[in-house]
Structure 1
Amino acid sequence: MHYDVNLSILFTELPMLERPAAAADAGFDAVEMWWPFDGPVPDDKELDALTRAITDAGVQLVGLNFDAGHMPSGDRGLLSSRATSQRFRDNIDVTVGFAERLGCRVLNALYGNTTDDTDAELALENLALATKAAGRSGATVVVEALNSYENTRYPLTSSARAFQVIDQVPGTAFLADFYHLGRMGEDLTALIASHANRFGHVQIADVPGRGQPGTGELDYPAILHQLENSPYGGLVGLEYKPVGPSSESFGWLEAMR
């Protein structure tokens, strides 16, 4: 099993431009991240600086979110609201272009919170636009479910709801975030057995605290063994809030190996 580190939730004690090197120093050769810029269209200097930080560290960018709004304030995506749709569309080519520069092949499009102007058809249209743009560079757009405890207005709170969206936009795939799914009580063993061939990416953290595996309730040795023997052939993203310093949170992985 090949793992990558999500730099938007791990190594946050460091500035973003220092995190790729920290991941490399911890023994990882692949990273992913949420949209790392303040707005949908950052200037070239910002894009170039992060590109250099990733390439100089010798790590591969394997996953990137489209702009999802201001996530610390509770935003969880832009594509389903008429008020934020244009911001999402402005971001598509920037995200796809940045990903293409770095050889990134997985792009995550968060659906967006339910608001007074939510438009399900607009969401599908925007997702299709993103998928078409990503396809030009061989990238796949993924859609994920989030747990309703922390994301009370996010409508896709189960794998079934996410698949309802994915089924309507050819070329998209499922981002199986085992933390969010586990928080919602989904049977992860059954999900892997029945749908691993539809996973475009996998992310992990333990339940309920979102710490590293071994700090909660999920049987990750069994889950990851099953995943390794499933049709899924991609990476597993470490998207947990480390209990202690990030650099000291990987003991579970060494023990498993």
Structure 2
Amino acid sequence: MDRRRLTVNCSILFTAASLLHRPRHARDAGFDAVEFWWPFDVTVPADRDVEAFVTAVEDAGVRLTHLNLAAGDLAAGDRGLLSSPRHSAEFRDSVDVATDIGKRLGTVGFNALYGNRVDGLEVATQNELATENLAIAARAAAAIGATILVEPLSAIPAYPLLHAADAVAVCDRVRREHGVDNVMLLADLYHLAVNGDDLDEVLSVHSGRVGHVQLADAPGRGEPGTGNLDLARCLRILDTQSYRGWISLEYRATRADPFDWISDFPA
């Protein structure tokens, strides 16, 4: 497999190292590109913390292809801020921070996790806010030639986007109501498979809506080849559908060399 298409998620890989050292580890492992979940402890980090992150990526000689927007406390179960009235302003602030970083580091996509359902809040009200905030984020991303990504997730009961069709419907709603067309599906093949999507169908039917692809095998969320998914077949389907975007390695390392599958991978 051509490593030039691969970007390494440094929030889930190289976790034995501190976050700012991980881009260098990715480079040393033979990769030219990295991505991160939100890399800060707060929604609006101090300027010195932003500079430290940017410098770590630059000094490693890699490109930051993708970055999650602020999504709350993931360890506590949060999965996004953009559909919560309480946290909407924080989300918008994180868009400013992220696009400034992205402009400097060549970022092409920002993952905007939709957010869990809020008890006591009408679903329609929450969806309306989410649509507005996604449009705001999309306009900011477009200014630097990037896209906003919407991702279905697994194992979070309160998270409403489970299937590719759910995320595509969100993208359609943003386009229809706000006239922006750079909101796309993040096809995390692990989450989609765990939630019961037929990956062949998803990648064929929605290929034109895919803005980014992330790989992990299922079950287990380990390296390709550690589970039951035919990930090589998935990538071949994407190639036939003219997907030429990045492929993210977003899995948990289970072997001494978590990248030993790449050279023999038939994709």
TM-score (norm 1): 0.95
One-letter amino acid of the counterpart of residue 51, structure 2: D
One-letter amino acid of the counterpart of residue 120, structure 1: N
Paired residue secondary structure (1:5): strand
Q: Who is 1:62 aligned against?
A: 65
1:73 aligns with 2:84: no
Q: Distance in 2 between matches of 1:70 and 1:183?
A: 23
1:197 aligns with 2:200: no
Q: CA deviation at 1:223?
A: 1.7
Q: CA deviation at 1:86?
A: 1.4
Deviation by residue 1:220-252 (Cα, 9 ceiling, x = unmatched): 22222222332211010000011034xx11111
Q: Distance in 1 between matches of 2:207 and 2:58?
A: 31
One-letter amino acid of the counterpart of residue 77, structure 1: G
Q: Distance in 2 between matches of 1:256 and 1:138?
A: 31
Q: Distance in 2 between matches of 1:139 and 1:7?
A: 20
CA contact (8 A) 2:10 2:34 kept: yes
Q: Who is 1:138 aligned against?
A: 145
What is the root-mean-square deviation of aligned Cα atoms in Å?
A: 1.2
After the TM superposition, which residues 27-38 of structure 1 pair with which residues of structure 2 at under 5 Å, given as runs? 27-38=30-41
* 1:238 alignment partner, one of 226, 249, 252: 249
* 1:180 alignment partner, one of 191, 194, 199: 191
* 1:129 alignment partner, one of 106, 126, 136: 136
Q: CA deviation at 1:99?
A: 0.9
Paired residue secondary structure (2:55): helix
One-letter amino acid of the counterpart of residue 52, structure 2: A
Q: CA deviation at 1:199?
A: 0.7
One-letter amino acid of the counterpart of residue 28, structure 2: D
Q: Identity of paired residues, percent?
A: 48
Q: Who is 1:251 aligned against?
A: 260
Q: Distance in 2 between matches of 1:185 and 1:14?
A: 34
Q: Distance in 1 between matches of 2:7 and 2:239?
A: 15
Q: Distance in 1 between matches of 2:239 and 2:9?
A: 20
Paired residue secondary structure (2:110): strand
Q: CA deviation at 1:47?
A: 0.9
Unaligned runs of 5+ in 1: none
* 1:90 alignment partner, one of 90, 93, 105: 93
Q: CA deviation at 1:184?
A: 1.2
Paired residue secondary structure (1:251): coil
Q: Distance in 2 between matches of 1:90 and 1:38?
A: 14
Q: CA deviation at 1:26?
A: 0.6
Deviation by residue 1:192-244 (Cα, 9 ceiling, x = unmatched): 11211211100010011100110001012222222233221101000001103
1:163 aligns with 2:168: yes
* 2:234 alignment partner, one of 214, 220, 223: 223
Q: Distance in 2 between matches of 1:193 and 1:109?
A: 24
Deviation by residue 1:109-159 (Cα, 9 ceiling, x = unmatched): 000001123611011111111111111111100101112xx2111000011
One-letter amino acid of the counterpart of residue 75, structure 1: D
Q: CA deviation at 1:101?
A: 1.1
Unaligned runs of 5+ in 2: 176-180
Q: Distance in 2 between matches of 1:5 and 1:104?
A: 13
Q: Distance in 2 between matches of 1:93 and 1:256?
A: 38
Q: Distance in 1 between matches of 2:134 and 2:188?
A: 19
Q: Distance in 2 between matches of 1:160 and 1:220?
A: 20
Q: Who is 2:178 aligned against?
A: none
CA contact (8 A) 2:134 2:174 kept: yes
